[in-house]
Structure 1
Amino acid sequence: MKKHQLTAVVLSVIFTGLGLFYIGTPMLIITGALLMALQGAVLYFLLLTLGFLGFLALPAALALHIAGIVITIIYFNYRSPKKTWLEQKRQRQLSSPGAIAARTVIGLLLLAGSVYVGYTEGTAPFTKSAAEKQVVREAAEHYLEQKYGEPFKVTKMDYTWAVGSYNLTAIPEGAPELEFTLDSTDGSPPVPSGETYLNRVWGAQLRDKAEPVIDRLYPDGAFVQAWVSCNMKQVVREYDKLDSCSGEPVSQNVDIVVFADVAEGSLDQEKERILELVKQLPGVTVPGKTDLQIEYYPAKLNTPANAAKLEKGSGALQDATPTYQFREFDISRITGTSDIELRKL
């Protein structure tokens, strides 16, 4: 195989149709450009269907790639004794290194352009530009500041193309530990809604009230997180002032992580402690339903690193498994230790 033939075939193997630009006849350049454009269209089709029709698109892309290789090989192996001028034309076509390089670079740019257009156009319905996201970010921050009278910062944005909406994470600038979420449409203008800021504020206040009780009962190491659900029509920042949520009772969740080596022989003692906690919690919660969860981890996991994770509000240790768990969705149902189940995990 001659040098030019080998180079052209290798280029066609690496990049669809590039070997045809290397050869450089007008017809082959047109053919190469067509193969590249079709491959960009296949990529667009594949992305537009989220890959579900890959069983059609991928074979089509492979067929286009193989076609470029086959045409390159045929060009160099075609011989016609009646057309000796054709061989001379081929030699002239491949005699100028500068022209060969220029044609090859043009082909490579066209291939990159077709892939880029196919990708950007194919993903456009599922993504948003930085400018579009900035509009939503500013609208959300303005909405929160107007509603709560303090500055906020949106720290994360996720766009869900299936429903045409954003899920955002934000923090109040004065209390960045109270990270919360909210939603927004992608309309013009965008409409924010569903923020969980007050739920975090109320939860932090409930945690502060419950911690002294929990620390007395679990002095060896316990961390508490709380969440409060209440659909209030007006802005009420004080947890203690919650009494009714649009006619529904206040829903409170208290999650406790306890570092203790619980054994089968100490389960009765733990149940007594849980019962005492159930009796004391109504003294710090507002009237409503209280959901209580306690997870027990080995005492050796009570490290500064794990304590820092829990204090930041992660809720649980993602890289460890609790040994026992207690869960009651409404603690008012508990009247004695017989109602308490410590489940081994």
Structure 2
Amino acid sequence: MRLFLAIFLTLLLPGLGQLVNGHRWKGIVFIGLDFVGIVLNHTVSEIPVYLLYAVALVDAAIFGFKVQRGKLEAPKGRKFVLEVVVISILSILITGIFDEWMIQYRPNPFEELQNLGEPSEEEKQQVKKEAEQYLKERYGEEFYVDNLHYIWQTDRWSMRGHLKNEEGWDFWVSKARGQFKDAYFTHRISRDAEEEIKPQIEEAFDSLINWDTSVGVADEIKDQYAKSIPSYQELREKTKRYKQTITIALATSLTEKNQEQEFEEVYRLVSYLNQNNIRADMVIFYYDPSIKEKGIKKVDFTRSGYYQEYLTGLLEINDVSKVKTAKDIGKYLK
């Protein structure tokens, strides 16, 4: 009972669990750190608060367990219980009031710095002009940029680039330390790659939820062909300094009974890639079909952990050229 109470009170406010375990001074220190955490939460980051809770929980659990096992003694009696109750109520009330005061009345110095660092409209227009000129000189085509954002913490500009005569897709452009960078080359090659393998993927997998692909290319190659970007097929003929990544989500429960059939489907796609000399790696998520019943129509691959409860299997093939038969697919099952 004491162990449960120590953990429960720690979740309410770090330091209270230490009081329950009989560590008064340690509890007072943690409660004092609560105020520091509130200040940091509203001015710098919430991370110190999470760390404080984690340390306090571990400490309360370890010593609470020792008390429960009889390895440590802890105060008992009505006076001790009253002391814990009074300190807990006062601490929660005072920290709550302090937190509310920080929200309403305490200015955030980092917000003030951010406002001071907010560029003027003239500066934005100047960066926009510079970015469009950079893209034109690099690729020999007409572009425009929008959605300009200045990240004052890193003194960096972020924006989206568009090809003037081709709407419907965009790419990131950034400026840092006076240098521009962009993803136009890789976006264009990736689009070609997507169009090429789309029929192969849709034919190979009946339970397809969604998929994505991107092509990474060495900087030297991008610089070499910037003025005349080849098609994806032409790029493969010119260099091996690229790598395609294919990520697929399937609404299929992977079991021992259907593994052979599923691996045959994967091998059909792998065979196409190898026959066309496509250097690629592949990740395939097998989800329980109930994922669709939950209204999930598209898997966000950047947040794959969100769908962990539906995951029944995962294939990670880091080099498809090493796969020679359908039986080889099983080696990459995680």
Shift of 1:331: 0.8
Decide which of 298, 301, 313 is 1:324's aligned counterpart: 313
Amino acid at match of 2:312: T
Shift of 1:250: 2.1
Counterparts of 2:160 and 2:278, CA distance in 1: 28
SS in 1 for 2:286: strand
Amino acid at match of 1:264: E
Amino acid at match of 1:249: R
Aligned residue in 2 for 1:73 = none
* 8 A Cα contact 1:252 1:289, kept in partner: yes
Counterparts of 2:184 and 2:110, CA distance in 1: 38
Decide which of 156, 170, 176 is 1:165's aligned counterpart: 156
1:131 aligns with 2:122: yes
1:206 aligns with 2:193: yes
Please say which structure displays the higher CA radius of gyration. 1
SS in 1 for 2:212: strand
1:298 aligns with 2:282: no
Counterparts of 1:199 and 1:259, CA distance in 2: 29
Q: Label 1:51 to 1:275 Cα distance change in 2 as closer, same or farther (>3 A).
A: closer
User: What does 1:1-345 align with in structure 2 at a 5 Å threshold?
Assistant: 51=44, 122-123=113-114, 127-146=118-137, 147-162=139-154, 164-172=155-163, 175-185=166-176, 187=178, 191-193=179-181, 195-230=182-217, 231-232=221-222, 233-235=224-226, 236-243=229-236, 249-284=241-276, 287=277, 289-302=279-292, 306-307=296-297, 309=298, 315=301, 319-321=306-308, 322-336=311-325, 337-341=327-331, 343=333
Shift of 1:210: 0.9
Shift of 1:290: 0.8
SS in 2 for 1:265: coil
What TM-score, normalized to structure 1?
0.53
Counterparts of 2:245 and 2:210, CA distance in 1: 14
Shift of 1:342: 5.6
Q: Label 1:132 to 1:241 Cα distance change in 2 as closer, same or farther (>3 A).
A: same
Shift of 1:264: 3.4
Count of residue pairs brought into register by the alignment = 223
Counterparts of 1:281 and 1:316, CA distance in 2: 24
Shift of 1:197: 1.4
CA deviations on 1:186-235 (whole Å, 9 max, x unpaired) are 64xxx422x11121111121111112112221133353322112232123
Extract unaligned runs of 5+ from structure 2.
1-38, 46-104
Shift of 1:137: 2.6
SS in 2 for 1:262: coil
* 8 A Cα contact 2:143 2:161, kept in partner: no
Amino acid at match of 1:257: A
Q: Label 1:237 to 1:248 Cα distance change in 2 as closer, same or farther (>3 A).
A: closer
Amino acid at match of 1:298: D
Shift of 1:145: 4.1
Counterparts of 1:264 and 1:197, CA distance in 2: 43
CA deviations on 1:12-43 (whole Å, 9 max, x unpaired) are xxxxxxxxxxxxxxxxxxxxxxxxxxxxxxxx
Aligned residue in 1 for 2:102 = none
Q: Label 1:329 to 1:210 Cα distance change in 2 as closer, same or farther (>3 A).
A: same
CA deviations on 1:98-139 (whole Å, 9 max, x unpaired) are xxxxxxxxxxxxxx9xx79x7787446754344323322332
Amino acid at match of 2:180: P
Q: Label 1:214 to 1:243 Cα distance change in 2 as closer, same or farther (>3 A).
A: closer
Extract unaligned runs of 5+ from structure 1.
1-45, 53-111
Q: Cα RMSD over matched residues?
A: 3.7
Shift of 1:140: 1.6
Shift of 1:302: 4.4
Q: Label 1:174 to 1:257 Cα distance change in 2 as closer, same or farther (>3 A).
A: farther
SS in 2 for 1:264: coil
Counterparts of 1:305 and 1:137, CA distance in 2: 40
Amino acid at match of 2:233: D
Aligned residue in 1 for 2:80 = none
